[in-house]
Amino acid sequence: MSLGKSTFRKMNTEIRNCEFKFKCPKVWDALAPTRDASIRFCGECQRQVVFCRTATELKRAIIDNECVAVDISSPRGPERTLGEPRQPPYMRDPNL
């Protein structure tokens, strides 16, 4: 399936304002592959890293307290960033 430029732009810009409480220095391609192509395993911290393509996937990963990989736009093009995303204020439990 071929994606048009406008479809790619929508996918590429869907994740915005993702803040990290921890940015990992690891590289996605260096993590151990799993049966699921969107999940890799980090042998150093012994955690799964989930590649999030959409804001919905990122929200689910934040709720599940998962490490993530996301492509973030930069002047040089998309950069894949790994780490633990910071939970936005609107998602925080007011009872904590």
pLDDT tens digits, one per residue of 38-49: 999 999 999 999
Q: Kindly state whether residue 9 falls inside one of the protein's structural domains.
A: no
Q: Kindly state whether residue 6 falls inside one of the protein's structural domains.
A: no
Q: Kindly state whether residue 92 falls inside one of the protein's structural domains.
A: no
Q: Kindly state whether residue 53 falls inside one of the protein's structural domains.
A: yes
Q: Would you place residue 14 in the very low, low, confident or very high pLDDT band (cuts 50, 70, 90)?
A: low
Does pTM surpass 0.85?
no
Q: Kindly state whether residue 74 falls inside one of the protein's structural domains.
A: yes
pLDDT per residue as tens digits for the range 52-81 = 998 889 889 988 999 999 988 778 888 899
Distance CA 41, CA 34 (A): 7
pLDDT value, residue 34:
97
Q: Kindly state whether residue 45 falls inside one of the protein's structural domains.
A: yes
Q: Kindly state whether residue 51 falls inside one of the protein's structural domains.
A: yes
Q: Kindly state whether residue 14 falls inside one of the protein's structural domains.
A: no
Domain count, the chain: 1
pLDDT value, residue 7:
40
pLDDT value, residue 20:
85
Domain that holds residue 30: 20-86
